[in-house]
Amino acid sequence: MKFCIPRLKRRSGLGNELIPWAKAFIAAAELDLTLIDPVWNHNPRGYLRLFQQRPFTRLWHVLLPKLLPTYVFTRADYLATGEHDFGSAIRAYAEQNGLRRRRHYVLIVEGMWAPRKPLRHARPYLLAALYGTRHLARNLYELGKRLDERQLVIAVHIRRGDFKPPQPDTNYVEEMNTALPMEWFVVVCRSLRARLGAENVQFLLFSDGTPDDLRLFTDVFQPTTTAHQSHTDVSDLLAMSGADLLVCSRSWYSRWALLMADIPYLWFRPALDQADNRLFIRSGIPNPPQPLREPVTPRGVPVGMDGALPDYLIGYLRYRLGMKAAATDLVMGGRVPADGFQNGEAS
């Protein structure tokens, strides 16, 4: 009887709550533990209405730590292993504490700390859980019918809510819970529309801001939104991950949309730290730089207040636009030239 329990923060948004859940899944997979579902009852955001919580889940969270030897894997424990990969760190922790020899114990995983890259290993598990939530299919179906399949979908995540409003002297590298300037979103999306053609792009806006907060953006772009839908925490996240490009906020909600898919994204350059002529997102977890491969075409594109976009990104998006043509999509009833290809290449 070996169990792993994800301990959530109880009052956080979905982006934050997914962090300990993902870590718990990796720990359970590495050590062959029985993973106990998260408890959603205490979260005031109503996530219990979305997730199919199994009977007795709350009871297991209370009783198991009382009945069995219990270990809590903390940020300090992770750092002490010297491993960057979360799964490797869990295995090292298990060896240090003799967990392999124990027949009964509970491992609790908690906290918002996380090495970002290894969390992607939990993607299949989390996607299965998210796609099984209530209201998801209906919300995505309704949204899909309102989108033009011939155009690029540019998802824009504008975080407001409990974030502090930006100030002229804001240090975005240091002040993590500060909203990004609305002017940046406007400049970036104007740049995208100008370079790709207004007829080729549609903007899909996700935000916790009020209509007044968003007016500067909505008046210019008239974006598609899900504001009229209910229970959108999961469906919005997966809709963001299904876009052709994501213009990010700095919240974990944006990051999880990117961890769930491999789409390119734009990041606010003034919020990036710099060392050795490289830009990166500051984190409390060590993230050693990796060797660069040529040509350097990162999917995460730093963009400043001028809205300047690299040519390779525009080229990629134009390629994506061409792939949307139903007239040449065989499984959508389209046709391709019988003699228009030489050696597998379009002539």
At 41 the pLDDT is 83
Measured distance CA(320)–CA(342) in Å, rounded: 22
Measured distance CA(319)–CA(200) in Å, rounded: 12
- Locate the domains of the chain by residue range: 2-130, 146-327
Q: Do domains 2-130 and 146-327 have the same CATH topology?
A: yes
User: Mean pLDDT of successive 10-residue segments in the chain (347 residues)?
Assistant: 91 90 97 95 87 89 96 96 93 97 96 83 96 96 97 97 91 91 98 98 97 96 97 97 97 95 97 93 80 90 98 98 93 88 61
At 293 the pLDDT is 84
Q: What is the CATH number of domain 2-130?
A: 3.40.50
At 250 the pLDDT is 92
And the tokens for 25? 């899944």
Output the DSSP codes for 242-282.
TSSEEE--SSHHHHHHHHTS---EEEEGGG-EEETTEEE--
Which are the contacts of 4, defined by CB distance < 8 A and separation ≥ 6?
24, 27, 28, 31, 33, 34, 35, 36, 106, 107, 108, 109
At 91 the pLDDT is 97
Cβ contacts of 8-11, under 8 Å, gap ≥ 24: 8/38, 8/39, 8/40, 8/43, 8/110, 9/112, 10/42, 10/43, 11/42, 11/43, 11/44
pTM score: 0.93
3-class secondary-structure state, position 204: strand
Candidates 1.10.1740, 3.40.50, 3.90.1690, 1.10.3860; CATH matching 146-327: 3.40.50
At 346 the pLDDT is 61
At 345 the pLDDT is 63
